[in-house]
Amino acid sequence: MQSKTDQSFSISKTYIIPGMDLIEACRTFTAVSELGSMTLGAAASGIPQPVASRRIAGLEEQFGARLFDRTGRGVSLTPFGQDMLASAKRLVDLADAMMLDADRARLRPVSLAVPTSCTTRDLAVLTASVISAGVHIDIHSAPPHRRTEDLSSRRIRAALHTVPESEGTWRVDLGCAHRAPLPGPVRLSALRRSRSPVSGRGPQLSGMRLRLLIEDDVPHVRDRIRRAAEVAGLLPSQVVTDSSDPAAVAAVLGDGDLLLCSSVEAENLGLHWSPLIEPTIARGYSLAATSGDDVSVLGRFSDEIADCLGGVRAVASEGGEREIG
């Protein structure tokens, strides 16, 4: 039989089946071998019988040997065909797995890390807007250092990074929140402890502590506030970075401290808010992602992101969006 094979196929050795056809041919090959019939195998593969026959013939031509013995009632594997069956099955299984992976990858959401202060409603609006544009999105709330770490270790695909206000795509103006209404815009120097307090009504800013949220425990906010406090003659203990946001808010509600936050945050906490005018401090945010595609997709939802942050789009530049290597 070996000599006969050589004779039959010696002239067509240069013919190569293209990759996709090879997989389809192998699919037909495994189906025919399982069912022992060209007709049944073709039916199982959903193709006409002549196509199945042509594919098998093509394979045999490519391999340079016969896969089946055509017997009267059906077909049976030649010893060569038996040897090839296992790798044909592997190829078919791998191709199936690949198609499933492609489906999954296509549906995998863009994971976006956002500040913990974003409200569920604003995030829901962002999610719905992004989904309606055909992209799946998965939101994770995390404090600033976690967002940076998770992005650089690629546990997430995109993050709203906290950056100096001048470099941000979005800006969130900060002010002071208090349990009672404040008389007007706040200067940090008003917190300076007086040697002898003047009695009177209304909140006395003198001697009050200013508490910072975890979101503001970053150098460009925390250290600027601390330096301004030093220069204004405040006690070092008057600027407090708490271990958790509830602890900070508890001190605001319980001890009457001030909280550095945005007007939106103050509203959500049920506190009165006044802008901080000396120094003026704002949070800056930029969108960073592991891929430029994600940046440009999410960048289209700038207004929704601004709402989530409780801020506005910075007027200056668009240079805040970037792709990390």
* Chain contacts with other proteins (rule: CB under 8 A): 192-193, 195, 227, 230-231, 233-237
Question: Please, what is the minimum distance in Å from the beta carbon of residue 229 to other proteins?
Answer: 8
Q: Which is nearer to other proteins, 146 or 226 (CB)?
A: 226
**How many CA atoms does the CB half-sphere of 323 hold within 13 Å?**
9
Question: Please, what is the minimum distance in Å from the beta carbon of residue 188 to other proteins?
Answer: 13
Q: Which is nearer to other proteins, 136 or 193 (CB)?
A: 193
**Dist CA 75 CA 212 (whole Å):** 79
Question: Please, what is the minimum distance in Å from the beta carbon of residue 235 to other proteins?
Answer: 5
In eight-state DSSP terms, residue 109 is P
Angle of the 49-63 helix axis to the 19-35 helix axis, nearest 10: 110
Q: Is the C-alpha dihedral spanning 248, 250, 254, 259 positive or negative?
A: positive
**Dist CA 304 CA 312 (whole Å):** 10
Considering only the C-alpha atoms of the chain, give the largest distance between any 2 of them, rounded to a whole number of Å: 114
Q: Which is nearer to other proteins, 83 or 223 (CB)?
A: 223
**Dist CA 283 CA 310 (whole Å):** 11
- The full length of the chain comes to 325
Q: Which is nearer to other proteins, 87 or 206 (CB)?
A: 206
Question: Please, what is the minimum distance in Å from the beta carbon of residue 185 to other proteins?
Answer: 23
**Dist CA 206 CA 124 (whole Å):** 41
Which contiguous run of DSSP H or E holds residue 53? Answer: helix 49-63
Instruction: Tell me the two tokens of residue 204.
Output: 């006395």
Question: Please, what is the minimum distance in Å from the beta carbon of residue 213 to other proteins?
Answer: 21
Question: Please, what is the minimum distance in Å from the beta carbon of residue 205 to other proteins?
Answer: 14
Q: Which is nearer to other proteins, 71 or 194 (CB)?
A: 194
Burial environment of residue 216 by CB neighbours within 10 A (0 to 12, 13 to 18, 19 or more): buried
How would you classify the pairing of strands 137-141 and 110-114? parallel
**Dist CA 299 CA 122 (whole Å):** 16
Question: Please, what is the minimum distance in Å from the beta carbon of residue 275 to other proteins?
Answer: 25
Question: Please, what is the minimum distance in Å from the beta carbon of residue 232 to other proteins?
Answer: 9
Q: Which is nearer to other proteins, 192 or 322 (CB)?
A: 192
Q: Which is nearer to other proteins, 62 or 189 (CB)?
A: 189
Q: Which is nearer to other proteins, 70 or 193 (CB)?
A: 193
**Dist CA 134 CA 250 (whole Å):** 42
